[in-house]
Each structure stands twice: as structure tokens, then as C-alpha cells.
Structure 1
Amino acid sequence: MVNAIYLTVSDVNLNGVTATRRSTGQHHGDLRNALERAALSLVAERGPHGFTLAEACRRAGVSVSAPYKHFADREALLASLAIKGYREQQRRFGAAVAATEDPAGQLAAFAAAYVRFAAEERALFDITFLAGLDKDRHPELHEAGTELFDTLVPVAGRIAPGEAAALDLLVRIAAAAHGLALFLQQGMLPPGRDTLADAEERAARTARALVEQERRGY
């Protein structure tokens, strides 16, 4: 579950971003970033499985041999983006938790921030959870996911004593937020209650309900 759970926003947000095209084989001063931006735009259009590395090269305006200076293959390119996605999640979740000192409020804020990340950074969300990246081949993904959860477990630990209980509570809250994020993306929320704000509020309310259950011992 740790691995199922974020580039700085200015690096990853695709609004208004267009890849600079160059003639094939021409030197690119920022090749790695250009390829990552191209891959993000392709994922946004087609999903994490809907493009090839050659297409990312064409979108970035570089030769098909260019990526191998930085990425062994397409999966390595996606893994690099997933790492940056984890960092963005950590930034967002950290800011959400810092907004209050009440642990129940912190977990509710985390759940809402989870849903907002999924909506605002759809391509990164899809890469993280739907690309099927091999974490044995890319152990840095496991490390990033673990680090992200490790920053949140102490918050849950203020509600559920003991590391195992705290992790269990955090997993349940994250799972609920993840489900709501997917429901929102797929248009599965009730009509009239299907906006991002509604989904955030529902995620926060669910987190508070889980906290209350934990406190009551059931």
C-alpha cells in the first residue's frame, strides 16, 4: 500500500506548456526536462501506456537515440516522473498537515490534498498508480513511497498508538481518498455532488469518521 500512495508544480503542471520542437538530431540544452515534459503531455492525452519512447522523442523534437543519455527505456523515463510525483505529493501533503495542529484535522487535510493532487496532476497520478512500474527494477520508487508515508505515520500515531496501528489508520484513510479520486475522475460520484470541492470535502469527512472509529476502538 505504501507504494500505491507525488517536479515542483511549475515543472509538472501541463497548463500552457508546449514542448519546444527541434530538428531531429539537433542538440538540446535541457534534454532530460524536455523528454519528461513530452512524456507528461503524452500521458495526459493517452494514458501511461499509450505512447512509445520514440513518440516522446518526436514530441520533444530530438532524435530517437537522444533519450539513452538519460533513460535506459520508456519505463525509466516514467519512473523518473513518478519520483518527482512523489516529491510533489510530499510537498502538498506537508503543507496541508502544517495548516493545523489537530491530528484529526491534519489527516482530513491530507485526504483532501490527496484528491486535489489526483485532479490537478492527473498525468503524474496516472504514472504513479497506473503505469505498472517495476519497483524491483526501480527501488527508488519504493524508497520514495516509504519516505512519503513515513512523514505521515507520526500524525496518525497521535490517534492510534503504536506504529502498526498508526500505519493501518493511515492506509485506510489513503485508500478512501484514492477511491474518491478515481470516482471523481471516472464520473462515478452522484450528480450534483461530483465537483472537486465535493470530493475533497467527502475525503476529509471520511478521514474524520475513520479517526473517530479508531478512537472508539472499532
Structure 2
Amino acid sequence: MPVKKAKVLRKAKGEYHHGDLKTSLKQAALRLVRDRGPRGFSLNEASRLAGVSVAAPYRHFDDKDALLAEIVRDGYELLEREIRKSVEKVGNLREQIVESGMAYLRYARNHADYFSVMFQSGLDRSKYPEIERSARAGFGVIVGLAQQYERTPELAELRAVSAWALVHGLAGLEQDGALSNAAGKSRTLEQFRPILERFVDQPYN
């Protein structure tokens, strides 16, 4: 299937103006991530796929890592929205915690390209403080639920970190195909719900 290029508007002198260069570059990078992983392509390849010159990305990004860093930030912001949307659909606190975990698992499956960049790109995050801010905002939703559920701040932090570790581990194993059922078929996400429910019901002392 031929690759559909982003629309480029050319001027008479051969210069161009791109309708939304940053967005097109990020979309091109995500398409390459789906095929090759976050480290398997160059910034020049993303430029060509976006239909722009290899010099164009440097208007917005110093290098490929800067492009990936912005995708990571976008990914965390999308994850936060997905978690909040799922939590708002239920009123019971226990179910809200379970739904936050289910939202994480759905996100990892439905947005595997973002998930891969967020956790497999090997970025030096100390260079990109915006990543830490967006990650903390998403984690803050889980922390807020845990604070309502537990008796002390210490137990709430333990609950939140454990919840994140559990769903992240399940998501990673599920993506790797390590959690197939006895028949060798992928499990439905709903099959993970009892695991999350048991986790929520397990008291921390």
C-alpha cells in the first residue's frame, strides 16, 4: 500500500509552508515506530514520510530525541485523559481504582505506538522536564484515588505505586504476547479485571 504523504504547500521560489509541520512530523514518527520501534528510524526518514525536506524538522526540534520527547509528553497527556474519562464513568471508589487500571491496559493496547515511545525510547529524561510534568499529572490521578482509599499518606503512596507497577507490568507482558491463554490466544482485556479487583481488595497494613 503506498504511503500517503502529508500535504505540502509550495511557493513559487521553491520554499514551502507546511500546514502543521510539528503534527505531521509526530504522526510520521509514530507510523515509523509501529513498523520499526522508537529507535529504528532517523529524523530524515520521518521528514520524508511527512512530505517535507530533511531540513524542515529543525525549525521545531533540535534532533530526533527532541521529537520523541514531545511524543512522550503527548502520550502521557493522552493517557491522563483516558484514565480520567474512565474513572468519571463510575461512582464507587473501589471501581474507580479498578477502572483506572483498565484504562491503562486499554491505552497500552490501543495506543501501542505511544506506549512504545514512552517506555522504550531510551531518552535521557533529565533533558526534558516536560516529560516529568506530564507523567506526574497522569500518576496524580491514581495517587488521588489512593489517598481517598487508604488511611494514611504512606499507605496511599504504596497503593498508587503498586497499582502503577501492576498495570504497567501486565501491559508490557500482554504486548510481548507472554500472557496468552492456554490455547495460545491473546486474552481479552476484561480477563485482567479480576486481577485488578483482587489487588484493590488486598489491604495494606
Bucket of the pairwise TM-score, normalised by the shorter protein: 0.7 to 0.9
TM-score, with length taken from structure 2: 0.88
Alignment pair present for 1:151 and 2:141: yes
Q: Which residue does the alignment assign to 2:202? A: 213
1:153-168 matches, cutoff 5 A: 153-168=143-158
Tell me the SS of whatever aligns to 2:41: coil
Quick check: 2:94–2:200 contact (8 Å CA) kept in 1?
A: yes
Q: Which residue does the alignment assign to 1:113? A: 103
Amino acid at match of 1:112: M
Q: Which residue does the alignment assign to 1:20? A: 6
Q: Which residue does the alignment assign to 2:164? A: 174
Tell me the SS of whatever aligns to 2:100: helix
Q: Which runs of 4+ in 1 moved over 6 A?
A: none
Tell me the SS of whatever aligns to 2:125: coil
Alignment pair present for 1:191 and 2:182: yes
With a CA cutoff of 8 Å and minimum separation of 6, indicate the structure with the bigger relative contact order.
1
1:87-126 matches, cutoff 5 A: 87-126=77-116
Q: Deviation at 1:90?
A: 0.8
Q: Which residue does the alignment assign to 1:59? A: 49
Q: Deviation at 1:192?
A: 4.4
Tell me the SS of whatever aligns to 1:64: coil
Structure 1: unaligned runs, 5 residues or longer? 1-16
1:1-80 matches, cutoff 5 A: 18-20=4-6, 22=8, 26-80=16-70
Q: 1:134 aligns with which of 105, 124, 130?
A: 124
Tell me how far apart the structure 2 counterparts of residues 212 and 85 of structure 1 sit (CA, whole Å): 30
Q: Which moved more, 1:71-80 or 1:188-197?
A: 188-197
Percent identical pairs in the alignment equals: 34
Q: Which residue does the alignment assign to 1:11? A: none
How many residue pairs get aligned? The number is 198
Tell me how far apart the structure 2 counterparts of residues 79 and 95 of structure 1 sit (CA, whole Å): 24
Q: Deviation at 1:149?
A: 1.3
What whole-Å deviation, never above 9, does each CA across 1:183-210 have from its counterpart, x for those lacking one? Answer: 221111123485452x3431x3222222
What whole-Å deviation, never above 9, does each CA across 1:51-108 have from its counterpart, x for those lacking one? Answer: 0101101111111111111111101111111111111111110011111122211111
Amino acid at match of 1:134: D
Q: Deviation at 1:110?
A: 1.0
Structure showing greater radius of gyration is 2
The 1:165–1:131 alpha-carbon spacing in structure 2 relative to 1, beyond 3 Å, is same
Tell me how far apart the structure 2 counterparts of residues 59 and 25 of structure 1 sit (CA, whole Å): 18
What whole-Å deviation, never above 9, does each CA across 1:83-142 have from its counterpart, x for those lacking one? Answer: 111111111100111111222111111111111101100110001111112211001111
Structure 2: unaligned runs, 5 residues or longer? none
